[in-house]
Amino acid sequence: MPHLEIHNLTVSYDKDQPALAQFRLDVEPGELVSLLGPSGCGKTTTLRSVAGFIQPDAGRIVINGRDYTHLPPNQRDIGLVFQSYALFPHLTVFQNVAFGLRMRRVPKAEVNTRVANALKMVGLEAFANRRPAQLSGGQQQRVALARATVIEPQVLLLDEPLSNLDARLRVDMRQEIRRAQQQLGITTLYVTHDQVEAMSISDRVVVMNQGKIEQIGSPERIFAAPETVFVADFMGFDNRFNAAVESVQADKLTVNWGGAPTELRWHSRFGSPCPGAKAEVFFRADNASLSSSSDASGLAGQVILHTFHGNEVQYLVETQVGEFSIMQDSAGERFENGAAVTVQAQTQKWIAIVE
């Protein structure tokens, strides 16, 4: 049985454009599911509805078999971690973490041991008597994590918890959050707009757009096989072009790629497409390679710009199909601006989406 069930949740701030429309999601016990999408996609609305700060217009929220939809937020037993940390500035680290236990009238001795354990988990035992203002951003977010988990909540909700941290700290904190979540086995919803963060921390990812779910799947699946144009675009497929479908088999379809018929994986929301339908073809910068023009097979093009990235060089190549961004190993053959090249497609990683 799922630990957290969200049934057909609908939230409208104004009538025309619902912030969240018929949102459905089941989260298994101990699972970490990310809600991924651009700002305004409804991910924070979902989170705040589960926390009880937003009363949905329709739908139900069920946790551990119990209907939470109309329960006030302070009776929900939910741990919340905010982007701004939201620590209590007038209390020490210890008092911050102890707050939820005090609200639950936990005996003092037990409070002491549980807070000490929580602080140990996040490596801040030595900071128990500091004020939040005396801690770094990363330390403050660790306190927030300890404060939200020490109450052993039914569900842990994290709202863009790493957005205020710098890039390196973000990676450390991400691992730390994941480790704590797995260690405690807490069912978790994680809101983020960063696709790398979502992929690296999640058991499953929910990609959202305009209040609706675009795709739910494992990070691997979302990364390799986007099902909609929005997901492909959001998951960082660098190149896209339009092509007409020539023929369709069960799991492959054929499009014309610079004069050559090319077989591609495909996905369509509305079943098998007809020949002649318009497909959007997506591929990443490392799903194609360049060779000097003497090589016959492939699409002819010309290098417009090259950018050195260390291990790789990124080429912007102009072809009759369009402009493509292509990554090459910097140790291999190098091309100058203006060089004539042949683009060789690794089409097994490409995907055609028909909408």
Partner 1 sequence: MISRWMYISLVILYGFLLGPFVIIFMASFGANANLAFPPQGFTLDWFANVFETSQFVDSFWISLQLALLSTIVSLVMGIPVAYALTRFQFAASGLVETVFSAPILVPGLVIGFAMLNFFVLLGDMGVMTGLFIGHTAILFPYSVRVVSASLRNLDPYVEDAAVSLGANRLRGFLLVVLPNMQAGIAAAFVLGFITSFNNVPVSLFLSGPGVTTLPVSMLSYLEYYFDPTIAALSTLLVIFTVVLVQTAERVLGLSQFV
Residue ranges in contact with partner 1 by CB under 8 A: 51, 53, 72-80, 82, 84-90, 99-100, 103-104, 144, 147-148, 151
Cβ-based nearer residue to partner 1, 86 or 184: 86
Shortest CB 86 distance to partner 1, Å: 4
Cβ-based nearer residue to partner 1, 89 or 271: 89
Cβ-based nearer residue to partner 1, 95 or 302: 95
How far is residue 103's CA from residue 74's CA, in Å, rounded to a whole number? 10
Shortest CB 52 distance to partner 1, Å: 8
Cβ-based nearer residue to partner 1, 72 or 276: 72
User: Where do the DSSP E strands lie in the chain?
Assistant: 4-11, 20-27, 32-36, 58-63, 66-67, 78-81, 155-159, 187-192, 204-209, 212-217, 239-248, 253-257, 260-268, 278-283, 288-292, 299-308, 312-319, 323-329, 340-345, 351-354
Shortest CB 151 distance to partner 1, Å: 7
Q: Residue 129 carries which side chain, given as an amino acid letter?
A: N
Cβ-based nearer residue to partner 1, 143 or 201: 143
Integer-rounded Cα radius of gyration of the chain: 25
Shortest CB 280 distance to partner 1, Å: 40
Cβ-based nearer residue to partner 1, 171 or 184: 184
Shortest CB 184 distance to partner 1, Å: 17
How far is residue 2's CA from residue 227's CA, in Å, rounded to a whole number? 25
**Of 36, 38, 42, 53, nearest in space to 12 by CA:** 42
Shortest CB 188 distance to partner 1, Å: 14
How far is residue 103's CA from residue 215's CA, in Å, rounded to a whole number? 39
3-state secondary structure of 117: helix
Shortest CB 190 distance to partner 1, Å: 16
How far is residue 351's CA from residue 332's CA, in Å, rounded to a whole number? 26
Cβ-based nearer residue to partner 1, 144 or 313: 144
Reported as type and span, the H/E element at residue 205 is: strand 204-209
